[in-house]
């Protein structure tokens, strides 16, 4: 069974383009993988910022952690498990002030953990979550995606690559303020291409 994790970070519960397009993409993937299991992770639901207590617990060997330290890491453990179990990751990422929302950064800080999603080696850091596919749905009012003033998209690519997810595809809807229809049409076309590609991939896997 294909497992899909959808992480959403828009501060808008209604009327959010990143949420709408992410939902369309998840529905598309669900149609391709009829038995897909969907996990919805709301990054805006008061994810805590890491603090000194969290860092101390994180760097304490698991067998040596106190009850309080285990509690401090409980949510992080859940988020890491969701990510480890997912075959496909969908991230809804509106651009706020040229970068990602603080809630999405909080999610990143809670899942990027040495020994869990990456490890240090003599050759440098090594991601531990290889073999996954990620789709990042990036929306913006005016910042062109992958332009010199877009600090969201490159950051998300880097983070995912860092933890071993190097198969990353962007679904972009930028310039929504001045060209909403054109921007959404571009994003919807990207989702259609993803449907075609995922369908072909699923058929090849079945044939094999």
**Residue 104 near residue 9 (C-beta atoms within 8 A):** yes
The response to whether 139 counts as a known ligand-binding position is: yes
4 CB burial (10 A radius; 0-12, 13-18, 19+): buried
Across the beta sheet with 3-8, the strand order is 37-42, 3-8, 88-94, 133-139, 167-173
| Sequence-distant (≥ 6) Cβ neighbours of residue 147 within 8 angstroms | none
The response to whether 153 counts as a known ligand-binding position is: no
The response to whether 16 counts as a known ligand-binding position is: yes
The response to whether 10 counts as a known ligand-binding position is: yes
The response to whether 18 counts as a known ligand-binding position is: yes
Cβ neighbours around 87 below 10 Å, total: 16
The response to whether 142 counts as a known ligand-binding position is: yes
Binding-site residues: 10, 16-18, 139-142
Indicate the annotated binding residues for FMN.
Answer: 10, 16-18, 139-142
């Amino acid at each position: 069974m294909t497992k899909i994790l959808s992480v959403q970070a828009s501060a808008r519960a209604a009327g959010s383009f990143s949420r709408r397009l992410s939902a369309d993409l998840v529905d598309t993937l669900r149609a391709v993988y009829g038995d897909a299991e969907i996990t919805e992770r709301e990054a805006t639901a008061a994810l805590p910022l890491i603090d000194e207590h969290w860092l101390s617990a994180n760097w304490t060997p698991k067998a040596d952690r106190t009850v309080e330290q285990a509690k401090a890491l409980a949510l992080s453990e859940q988020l890491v498990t969701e990510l480890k179990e997912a075959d496909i990751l969908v991230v809804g990422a509106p651009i706020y002030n040229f970068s990602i929302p603080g809630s999405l950064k909080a999610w990143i800080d809670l899942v990027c953990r040495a020994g869990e999603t990456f490890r240090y080696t003599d050759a440098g850091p090594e991601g531990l979550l290889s073999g996954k596919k990620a789709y990042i749905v990036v929306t913006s009012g005016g910042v062109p995606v992958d332009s010199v003033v877009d600090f969201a998209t490159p950051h998300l690519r880097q983070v995912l690559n860092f933890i071993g997810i190097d198969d990353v595809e962007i679904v972009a809807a930028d310039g929504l303020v001045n060209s909403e229809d054109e921007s959404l049409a571009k994003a919807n076309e990207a989702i259609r291409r993803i449907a075609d590609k995922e369908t072909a991939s699923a058929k090849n896997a079945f044939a094999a």
